[in-house]
Amino acid sequence: MPGLDATQIRRKLADARLYLCTDARTERGDLAEFAEAALAGGVDILQLRDKSAGAPLEARAELAALEVLGEACARHGALLAVNDRADIALAAGADVLHLGQDDLPVSVARRVVGEHVVLGRSTHSAEQASAAATEPGVDYFCTGPCWTTPTKPGRPAAGLDLVRETAASGATRPWFAIGGIDAARLPEVLAAGADRVVVVRAITEAEDPRAAADWFRTRLRG
Ligand SMILES: Cc1ncc(COP(=O)(O)OP(=O)(O)O)c(N)n1
Ligand SMILES: Cc1nc(C(=O)O)sc1CCOP(=O)(O)O
């Protein structure tokens, strides 16, 4: 299946509402089956983020998992995202590279992945969000965590105030709220002004990942 070009990737990013990070699920079932279910339920961007052993996957294992996710994303017209590693994003033919505050500078990552890959940045304060909203080369950013979360231990909550401030800032780049978001809390996140979210456990730990994704998709797409 041919890959998406830069224009198609940016259009899909603009339209994206539901972003899922998953681990490689080596011990909890089949990655292909999980990806198929989550994407059928309406996930727009699927990121491999596997820190389940307390450290990132080795490069070969990461590439193998990305191949599985990439095939599923291509079937569903979703974007494939890589966390942290520009070299792996390039090698995997990913559409998206997500960078934290301590990861590669955007200008350096851009040199590695080229122009067509979308670059995202994590932000945890109004200052960081404002920088990501204007820094050249950043295509989207995330604000959080809205609540403390076991998925990101040690990261203090930025709270919904950061979502409110970002919404009020009139940021024109796509931005996503992240951290502790589940079905019960989504209404508060939307009321604070977000219209895009990133989730992990709300779908990865759901008994029925397709139904969980579909629940979010319905609320995010109105
Ligand atoms: C979409 C998305 N948003 C935020 C993060 C967190 O990135 P980072 O701060 O680099 O932390 P780690 O994921 O590397 O632990 C993300 N991965 N994806
Ligand atoms: C990976 C990650 N990054 C965050 C940030 O604030 O940058 S919060 C987070 C974990 C989100 O997981 P869950 O949906 O299970 O709470």
Q: What is the DSSP string of 113-163?
A: H-SSSEEEEEE-SHHHHHHHHHSTT--EEEE--SS--TTSTT-----HHHH
Supply the pLDDT for residue 55: 81
Q: What is the mean pLDDT of residues 11-36?
A: 91
The protein residue whose alpha carbon is closest to atom 11 in ligand 2 is 179
Q: What is the mean pLDDT of residues 42-61?
A: 91
Q: Pairing between strand 18-22 and 45-48?
A: parallel
Supply the pLDDT for residue 27: 65
As given in the structure block, the two tokens for residue 123 are 């932000």
Q: What is the mean pLDDT of residues 95-119?
A: 97
Share of the chain above pLDDT 70, in %: 97
Residue 155 lies in a domain: yes
Residue 156 lies in a domain: yes
Residue 103 lies in a domain: yes
Give the range of the structural domain holding residue 100, as residue numbers without chain letter.
6-221
The pTM for the full model equals: 0.97
CA 138–ligand 1 middle distance (angstroms): 15
Mean pLDDT, the chain, as a whole number?
A: 96
* DSSP three-state, residue 215: helix
CA distance 125 to 101: 11
CA distance 222 to 9: 23
* DSSP three-state, residue 178: strand
Ligand nearest to the CA of 179: 2
Return the CATH number at 66: 3.20.20.70
Residue 1 lies in a domain: no
**57, 26 in Cβ contact below 8 A?**
no
Pocket around ligand 1 at a 6 A CB cut-off: 19, 21, 47, 49, 51, 83-84, 98, 100, 103, 120, 122, 142, 178, 198
Name the residue among 191, 183, 192 with its Cα closest to residue 215. Answer: 183
Backbone dihedral angles phi then psi of residue 119, each to the nearest 5 degrees: -110, 130
Report how far apart the first and last C-alpha atoms of the chain are (Å, whole number).
31
Q: Binning pLDDT at 50, 70 and 90, where does residue 215 land? A: very high
Supply the pLDDT for residue 25: 78
Name the residue among 178, 167, 96, 95 with its Cα closest to residue 133. Answer: 167
The protein residue whose alpha carbon is closest to atom 8 in ligand 1 is 100
- pLDDT > 70? residue 26: no
Q: What count of other Cβ atoms lies within 10 Å of the Cβ of residue 123?
A: 24
Residue 22 lies in a domain: yes
Supply the pLDDT for residue 2: 65
The protein residue whose alpha carbon is closest to atom 7 in ligand 1 is 100
Residue 83 lies in a domain: yes
CA distance 180 to 199: 8
Number of domains, the chain: 1
Backbone dihedral angles phi then psi of residue 196, each to the nearest 5 degrees: -135, 140
Name the residue among 168, 147, 177 with its Cα closest to residue 159. Answer: 147
